Structure 1
Amino acid sequence: MTSFQKKDFLTNQPYALYDAVSMPFKNQTISHFALSDSLTTVIGKQQNKAAIHFWSTDPLVILGMMDTKLPYLSDGLAVLKVNNQPYIVRNSGGLAVASDSGVLNFSLIFPEEAANRITIDEGYDFMYRLVSETLKDYNKKIEAYEISDSYCPGDFDLSINGKKIAGIAQRRLKNGVAIMIYLSVTGNQNKRAQLLQDFYAAGVQNKQVKWHFPKIDPEVMGTLEELLDAQLTIQDVKEKIVQTLRKRDCIIEPGEYSSEILHLYEDSKQKMIDRNLQMLKENAQKELLI
């Protein structure tokens, strides 16, 4: 491959598969984020393998760093506390998303060559193509454009019939890039969106700020089960994604928790703890950071 040829990481690519169901870490909250960062660093060094990282959570609001700039952040967080909703600040930008056992979060983690970088749009396109191909048998068109009144809106929101099912983000560390998605598979998407609508209403209180926080309309979001009119589980979707990659001649093998990954994990975990204590101060939920 020359520096002028773009690699299609969805074809003929070896993958190491990491699934939170079998990860060896006790903390089931920040572990997902810390592991993602350590995998991105290691994949960036290896240059010969990619990784796929699946994870879901108990009910959890995942705040973006921009959310910590809400003018009435404590009031917004109080809404989450009243609803018995744990929250944490993730290690990337963007805005809040709601996660629970009906939401599949996963990352495609690729190495980058210094002379052949994966552009932002190319990274998003890998994930868009993978999801579209995985769901093609349902004969529903998956579209990628911003749903501005959803939570965490972005240029590559994925939608069916105008209703958002997923949001995509990216994180880059040295020579590794992680393309991350949350995919609403099942559950009460209206309730998730309503919770974040209330969070922002309390956190902004109509104050004029230089940052843009969404005015969420729960009706513009939905789940795969609802919009595909099919019974689905998180496990179903994980298996379909793996099958799609295998059909494209990708080799999927269980990921190993090497000493390097475990060392980087501990460092990334501590950075997550420090970030939450610094940004949320007295509002940090320390029980999630143990």
Structure 2
Amino acid sequence: MLRKKAVMLDQHMLTHRESLLPFIYTDLLAEYAGDHQMCCFHFWKMEHQVILGMKDTRVASLKEGVQSIKNNSYQVVVRNSGGLAVVADEGILNFSIILPQPTDKYSFSIDQGYELMKSIIEKAFAEFEMDIEAFEVSDSYCPGDFDLSINGKKFAGISQRRIKNGIGIMIYLSICGDQNKRGEIVREFYQTSLVEKFGTDGFPPVNPDSMANLSDLLQANLTVEDVKERISHVLNQTFDFSEKYDQTFKDFLISTEFNDKFEKQNERMKQRNQIIDWSENY
């Protein structure tokens, strides 16, 4: 079977000053995937960050909610897609699969995207012989139909974004660290910003106990780097990461074309984040 062409972008720990980058890259990689009929994979991590969805910016008391996050020594960024608040820190791995939109009459459905991501995660941890289930954990932060859980505890959430000729399937994986604290921070954000409307209007009644780290669920001493290696091993069995594709991709990342597109996306993200005074949070 012919393996599909693929490239990898691995962004290591991003500071708050760099917190717009993964969202900029998602859109640029989606365009690249469509233009070059190439599968792109993207790893990234952030330092103590709460990532808000666009819906979160419409809470009644946004300023007070953002301050509650800062009081917990986390910073805030607004992503360029829907969904709700998630946490990114040293123990969380973010991973994206970015595919070209099919050029034939058969479209790639939303469910197919979710199933692809779930399949990769299952293969990465097949040795543990644990059932990974996909269903909404309604009292987790950022609940969705394809939350991934073990024994009822959510450890990952999956979302999708479709841009021009590309499809992005994104997952955050809680690997290690203080997951209960992450839940408490998001719960406090909603309690502070919604007050008596906490848990209503489509915002989750966050229960920190609804989520757990993958390392705890599997009773294994996992790190983010361990999980990256496991996922990369699965990808290398399935996709063709030839050096020629990698070199073409690297040339694109330093090209004038890329820089022009990057600056346009960067300005859009800065404008989106004006609502939380992002530039004043360095």
Same fold (TM over 0.5): yes
Q: Determine if the alignment matches structure 1 residue 153 to structure 2 residue 143.
A: yes
Quick one: which of 91, 94, 98 aligns to 1:102?
A: 91
Q: Which runs of 5+ in 1 are unaligned?
A: 1-7
Q: Which residue of 2 aligns with 1:141?
A: 131
Instruction: Say if 2:194 is the partner of 1:204.
Output: yes
Q: Is the 8 A contact 1:166 1:183 kept in 2?
A: yes
Distance 1:117 1:167, change over 3 A: same
Relative to 1, partners in 2 of residues 1:17 and 1:270: Cα closer, same or farther, differing over 3 Å?
A: same
What residue identity is the alignment partner of 2:74?
Q
- Identical counterparts, % of pairs: 40
Is the 1:12–1:251 contact (alpha carbons within 8 Å) kept by the matching residues of 2? no
Task: Return the TM-score normalized by structure 2.
Answer: 0.91
Q: 5 Å matches for 1:113-262?
A: 113-114=102-103, 115-207=105-197, 211-248=201-238, 250-251=240-241, 254=246, 255-256=249-250, 257-259=253-255, 260-262=257-259
Task: Give the Cα–Cα distance (whole angstroms) in 2 for the partners of residues 151 and 214 of structure 1.
Answer: 6
Mapped pair 1:92 → 2:85: no
SS at the partner of 1:109? Answer: strand
Residue 269 of structure 1 aligns to a residue in which SS? helix
User: Does structure 1 retain, via aligned residues, the 8 Å contact 2:16–2:75?
Assistant: no
Deviation at 1:113, TM superposition (A): 2.4
The number of equivalent residue pairs is: 274
Report the AA paired with residue 124 of structure 1.
Answer: Y
Alignment of 1:285 onto 2:278: yes
- Three-state SS of the structure 1 residue aligned to 2:197 is coil
Q: Is the contact between residue 17 and residue 252 of structure 1 (CA under 8 Å) also seen in structure 2?
A: no
Q: CA contact under 8 A between 2:46 and 2:89: conserved in structure 1?
A: yes
Distance in 2, matches of 1:190 and 1:22, equals 22
Residue of structure 1 in register with 2:261 after alignment: 264
Structure 1, 59-68 or 133-142: larger mean CA deviation: 133-142
* Residue aligning to 1:72: 61
**Does the aligned pair in 1 maintain the 2:13–2:47 contact within 8 Å?**
no
1:14 aligns with 2:5: yes
Could you report, residue by residue, the CA deviation over 1:93-130 in whole angstroms, capped at 9, with x for unpaired residues? Answer: 00000110110001000001243321111111110111
More helix by share: 2
| Aligned mates of 2:63, 2:266 — CA distance in 1 | 24
Shift of 1:204: 0.9
Structure 1 residue 207, shift from structure 2 partner = 3.0
RMSD: 2.3
